[in-house]
Amino acid sequence: MTRFEEVKNLIMSLEGDFDKFYDKKNQAAGTRVRKGMQDLKTMAQQIRSEVQDQKNEAAK
């Protein structure tokens, strides 16, 4: 369940940058949002792989 907490923490840490970019048009915040979304994508792929590996191990 720690992976889930990591995902939640990453998303929550980006909240301020989303606000700054969309509401205040801060371009640097947009860069941070894009980086955070890339990190989220990487993390999601790692979690998918872990889940698939565990599923396959259980099936053996």
Sorted by sequence, the CB contacts under 8 Å of residue 30 that are 6+ apart come out as 17, 21
Q: Which amino acid is at 58?
A: A
Q: Is the pLDDT of residue 1 over 90?
A: no
Question: Directed axis angle between helix 27-59 and helix 2-24, to 10°?
Answer: 160
pLDDT at residue 48, rounded to an integer: 97
pLDDT at residue 55, rounded to an integer: 95
Q: Give DSSP secondary structure letters for the chain.
A: -HHHHHHHHHHHHHHHHHHHHHHH--HHHHHHHHHHHHHHHHHHHHHHHHHHHHHHHHH-
pLDDT at residue 60, rounded to an integer: 78
pLDDT tens profile 3-59: 999 999 999 999 999 999 999 999 999 999 999 999 999 999 999 999 999 999 998
